[in-house]
Amino acid sequence: MCIISFLCECVHGCLQSVRRGGSWIAASFSIKVEGNMKTADILAFLYKPQIVEVWKMAEGGEKHPDVLGERERKMRDSNLPYSLRSNFTSLMRRLENRVREMETYLNQFLTIEEILRVGMIDDPRRKINMVLRYVLHRNEKEHESFMRYLIEKRYITEKDLQEFKHVPDAPEYRQLTAEDFNRPEIRRFVEKELEVTTILDYLYERYLINLEEYEEMERASSRIEQVRILLAILQRRRDDSWTSKFCYILNTFGHHRILRGMQNIKNQHHIGMQESDIPVFGSTFKLDTDHQTQIALREQSAADLNNHWQNDDHRITGTRPGCVEFMLLSGSKKACKILDKDDQEEKCRTFLQSLTSMTDVKKTLKPGQIFKIKVQMFDSSLPIVPAEKAKNMDFNLAIKICKTNLIGDLKVKVIMNLLVEHEMINQFTVAKLSETSEENLIKEYLIYLLGSSEEDKLKQVLAKARESETLQAFVDHIEQWRCVECYRKTLLTFFQNVEDEIDTKIMEKTLIGENDVPDLLTNVCIHKAENISRGDRAKLFLQYILTNENILMRFAAVFATMSKVVLTHTSCVYCSKDKSTSRPTDDTPAYTFVVEDVNGEFVVRSTEKRKNGTKFPERRHKYESFHDSVHYTRFVNGAGIGCITKERRSKLFRKYKEHAENESVQSVDNTINDEISSYDDLDGINIMTHDRHGWRKNAKDTTVVALGEKTHKVMDCEHVTKS
């Protein structure tokens, strides 16, 4: 007799016993046995309070508490192996901070491959999640053994274990059918918005998906792929009851906005957020003035700048190095449009007036000082880090970013010997690694050890590795990812892929605890996550981190550990062989202001405004150039403002001539080497000559410039005379 039939006969016998005893139970439940029901489902059902009452009345347990207690204990024991799944999420919450205490037991319970994979996870919740899934792959006897271990060690108690959680099939969640989820517009909406990881555990715990389907989504290479797998499972079920329960899960666990959005699409209602609800990032104030004032402005924190500006519509998020460009976060698109109106110049003047009132800035001001300011969109192509600080990323972080790409270049024996030599791995671990035949798993574990080691030791290992020819590519791969600007350029290149992958957890781990993050950004990206589109939040978040070096580094560490998206390295302007930095001419109009001393206070006025009927003249540099040098000399001598004399120019020429020649020779040598390295089969190199000697062939003197055919760089420059 099968277990299902046996259990059903037991229940039937209990009910008959109750009737024979003269009692009557107004039972509000019914039993429907299907061929595909699992033993766990039946046992969970039998342990419900209503069923326990049936057992009590059938056996007279209400008259014998000891008998009842013994029977309930046996029932709990028989249900213990199946309580693991129905308590999946609660067990993770209780055990995530105690998983390290369980290491000795887990080393005996898990296989070596499972131990290595668990060991490579730093996040405690993800670690215990993997442990529980490995336990669930075992048989019922091992399930029971694991649960008894948790109870004996008092990690949990029997009272903590909950019964089977029933997901209601309520009418209000039957508005969407399985067919609706196959509509292209609903699929696109769900792919854009749903964060599967937030409901995945509950879908498994409530028996909507099985363990194989759970792990298929866990192995997915991106968030969108996870959503597509889930939608495929939904289509395989083709069951409106399952769809109804899925909608219940969405609504219960923070995705009511997605549920409402799908219902609106089905009913052909417009969905979306109002413009005033979504902040906008990207407008900048670019300022040009005296050097000392620029330095003082760049040294001010974003918080101090905002305190002086006191503008509710716009918040300053930081300044770009190399110039003074204030990056603004606007409260909404409507607020951002204020900068496009006719009073833009007055708003710029008010902004400058607030800046010049800051104590450190005020010390650098002089009466008559000129300020030029432009209102424009943030130019992402310009670096945010100067060249000398670009390679500022730790080796540990660089390894985490490119870990997937390192597997092919890693030589197991060579790296393992280096780790043993520098005491970064012990012989016991080496012996354990030798027990597995999965070479890729060993490589992943060694890369994890490198990425988790101390920075100083890691530098020593990589310096030693560079001496080995077999590890040159491995070290070079790590080195190229140390450039912050290269990482930023890579994010810009794959902007849409990264934006699609960013979820609320990534935003939380990046922003929480960081200083000088605007409250408006934190509120929108994290605290109001349930009410604002994931796509809108991700775009705003990504735009912000691409302007802030510290937040960008923090994001790199979080994204490398929480995402499986593989980024292909893209060289920045500093690391690229093509050093071209040509950009379209910036024709954005600039407003010009002058600082005046009015009764001991500095006042900012526009040069375009008239005072007492006269226009403020624009201040010119005292070395203003003219086409005719004779006119220039006469002008500066007559005005008494000084000039650079011929003798002084000759002295400067003699002083710097030697240095310029040395730089020229070195540049030519480097170019020739670059040109030679550009040929696969070297039997000579090709050159092109500058065309000036062609159309000036009748000139007495001319200069011929030789360019490399491959690199288009100057290889030599010769003076040619007609004679």
CA distances from 432 to 435, 606, 610 (A): 5, 75, 83
SS (H, E, C) 21-81: CCCCCCCCCCCCCCCCCCHHHHHHHHCCHHHHHHHHHHHCHHHCHHHHHHHHHHHHHHHHH
* Co-location of 406 and 473 in the same domain: yes
Greatest C-alpha distance within the chain: 133
Same domain, yes or no: 452 and 501: no
Region of poorest pLDDT, from 210-224, 318-332, 639-653:
318-332
pLDDT class of 68 with cuts at 50, 70, 90? very low
Are 681 and 697 contacting, i.e. CB atoms less than 8 angstroms apart? no
pLDDT of residue 63 exceeding 70, the answer is no
Q: Quick one: which of 349, 284, 288, 337 has its CA closest to 313?
A: 337
Report pLDDT digits (tens) over 581-619.
455 555 566 788 888 888 878 888 887 653 444 444 443
Distance CA 447, CA 50 (A): 55
Confidence of residue 620 (pLDDT cuts 50, 70, 90): very low
Domain assignment present for 27: yes
> Helix and strand tally (H, E) in the chain?
37, 11
Residue 670 token pair? 């480097």
Tokens of 686: 């090709």
d(CA 147, CA 127): 18
CA–CA separation, 690 and 491 (whole Å): 39
Q: Which domain holds residue 147?
A: 83-160
Q: In the listed set 244, 266, 288, which residue is the last one of a domain according to the structure?
A: 266
**403 with 429, same domain?**
yes
Positive or negative torsion for Cα 77, 81, 82, 88:
positive
**Per-residue pLDDT, 249:** 92
**pLDDT value at position 534?**
93
Please answer whether residues 500 and 440 qualify as being in contact, where contact means their C-beta atoms are separated by less than 8 angstroms.
no
Distance, in Å, from the CA atom of 1 to the CA atom of 282, rounded to the nearest integer, reads: 71
Task: Say how far residue 608 (Cα) sits from the centre of its chain.
Answer: 45
* Per-residue pLDDT tens over the stretch 152-188: 999 998 888 876 667 777 778 888 888 899 899 999 9
Residues 6+ positions from 229 with CB-CB distance below 8 Å: 213, 216, 217, 220
What are the φ/ψ torsions at residue 590 (nearest 5 degrees)? -110, 140
Written as six digits, the tokens of 685 are 């190199």
Please report the pLDDT score of residue 297 as a whole number.
83
How confident is the model over 575-589, as pLDDT tens digits?
A: 987 655 455 555 566
Contacts of 677 (CB under 8 A, 6+ apart): none
Q: Is 534 contained in some domain? A: yes
pLDDT at 508: 94
Same domain, 178 and 254: yes
485: exposed, middle or buried (C-beta count within 10 Å: 0-12, 13-18, 19+)?
Answer: buried
Phi, psi of 96 (to 5 degrees): -60, -30
pLDDT, average across residues 261-280: 66
The two three-digit tokens of residue 237, written as one number: 């079920």
- Between CA 702 and CA 524 the distance in angstroms is 64
Residue-level pLDDT at 578: 63
Asked if residue 220 is part of any domain, the answer here is: yes
| Same domain? 695 vs 717 | yes
Residues 6+ apart with CB under 8 A from 34: none
In this model, does residue 663 exceed pLDDT 90? no
Residues 247 and 219 occupy one common structural domain: yes
Check residues 641 and 598 and name the one with the higher pLDDT. 598
| Range with the largest mean pLDDT of 73-77, 470-474, 577-581 | 470-474
pLDDT for residue 24: 34
296 falls within a domain: no
Cβ atoms 682, 704 nearer than 8 A: no
Residues 469 and 511 in one domain: no
**Contacts of 58 by beta carbon, 8 Å cutoff, 6+ apart:** 13, 14, 15, 17, 18, 21
**What pLDDT does residue 372 have?**
85
Of the listed ranges 219-233, 255-269, 301-315, 700-714, the one predicted with least confidence: 301-315
Give the bridge partners for 302, in sequence order. Answer: none
Q: Give pLDDT, residue 427.
A: 85
For 501, the 3-state DSSP assignment is helix
Q: Which amino acid is at 711?
A: T
Task: Kindly tell me if the per-residue pLDDT of 625 is higher than 50.
Answer: no
Instruction: Pick left, alpha or beta for residue 282 (phi over 0 → left; psi -120 to 50 → alpha; otherwise beta).
Output: left
Domain boundary among 216, 251, 266: 266
The pLDDT of residue 17 is above 70: no
Burial of 605 (0-12, 13-18, 19+ CB in 10 A): middle
- Which of 403, 419, 448, 552 has the alpha carbon at shortest distance from 492? 552
Is 140 a member of any domain? yes
Query: For residue range 402-432, what is the model confidence (pLDDT) as tens digits?
Result: 998 898 888 899 999 999 998 889 888 888 8
- The average pLDDT across 328-340 equals 59
Residue 554: its pLDDT value, please?
94
CA distances from 387 to 16, 60, 100, 477 (A): 86, 85, 43, 20
Asked whether residue 347 is assigned to any structural domain, the reply reads no
CA distance 452 to 448: 6
Mean pLDDT of 322-333: 65
Q: How many domains, the chain?
A: 6
Residue 368 pLDDT grade (very low, low, confident, very high; cuts 50, 70, 90):
confident
Residue 380 contacts residue 572 (beta carbons within 8 Å)? no
Residue with the two structure tokens 């029901």: 37
Calculate the alpha carbon distances from 718 to 12, 506, 692, 701, 704 in Å.
107, 58, 12, 11, 5
483/497 Cα distance (integer angstroms)? 21
Please tell me the distance from the alpha carbon of residue 714 to that of residue 288, in angstroms, as a whole number. Answer: 34
Q: Does residue 384 register a pLDDT over 70?
A: yes
Q: Averaged over 535-541, what is the pLDDT?
A: 91
Is residue 36 very low, low, confident or very high in pLDDT (cuts 50, 70, 90)? Answer: very low
Residue 477's pLDDT is what? 92
Closest Cα partner for 318 from 308, 306, 330?
306
What confidence score (pLDDT) does residue 126 get?
A: 94
Q: Which residue has the tokens 């009692």?
A: 23
- Under 8 Å between Cβ of 384 and 547: yes
Helix (H, G, I), strand (E, B) or coil at 106: helix
200 within some domain: yes
198 vs 357, which has greater pLDDT? 198
* pLDDT on residue 187: 94
Q: Do 261 and 179 fall into the same domain?
A: yes
Query: Are 124 and 210 within one domain?
Result: no
Question: How big is the chain by its Cα radius of gyration, in Å?
Answer: 36
Same domain, 50 and 98: no
Question: Angle, to 10 degrees, between the axis of helix 112-119 and the axis of helix 124-136?
Answer: 160
Give the angle 545-386-326 at the CA atoms, nearest 5°: 50
Same-domain pairing of 118 and 198? no
Q: How far apart are CA 278 and CA 94, in angstroms?
A: 37
- CA torsion sign for 593, 596, 601, 603 is negative
Distance of CA 228 to the CA centre of its chain: 21
Alpha-carbon span 46 to 75, nearest angstrom: 9
The model's confidence at residue 537, banded by pLDDT at 50, 70 and 90, is very high
How many Cα neighbours within 13 Å face the side chain of 219? 6
Kindly state the average pLDDT of the residues 90-109.
Answer: 92
Q: What is the distance, to the nearest Å, from the Cα of residue 315 to the centroid of all Cα atoms in its chain?
A: 22
The residue out of 503, 529, 562 marking a domain boundary is 562
Report which of 192, 190, 210, 187 is spatially closest to residue 200, judged by C-alpha positions.
210
User: Residue 34 — very low, low, confident or very high, per pLDDT cuts 50/70/90?
Assistant: very low
Percent of the chain with pLDDT over 70: 73
Predicted confidence (pLDDT) at residue 522 exceeds the cutoff of 80: yes
Tell me, yes or no, whether 153 and 175 share the same domain. Answer: no
Task: Summarize the confidence of residues 460-483 as an average pLDDT.
Answer: 91
Q: Which residues of 283-315 are buried (b: 16+ CB within 10 A; e: fewer)?
A: bbbbbbbeeebbebbeebebeebbebbebeebb
What is the C-alpha to C-alpha distance for residues 520 and 527, in angstroms, rounded to an integer?
10
17 occurs within a structural domain: yes
Distance CA 84, CA 9 (A): 26
Where does the pLDDT of residue 29 fall: very low under 50, low under 70, confident under 90, or very high at 90 and above? very low
Decide which of 14 and 115 is more confident: 115
Minimum mean pLDDT range among 233-237, 603-607, 650-654:
650-654
Per-residue pLDDT at 286 exceeds 70: yes
Q: How confident is the model at residue 28 (pLDDT cuts 50, 70, 90)?
A: very low
Q: What is the mean pLDDT of the chain?
A: 78
CATH number at residue 439: 1.10.533
Residue-level pLDDT at 69: 53
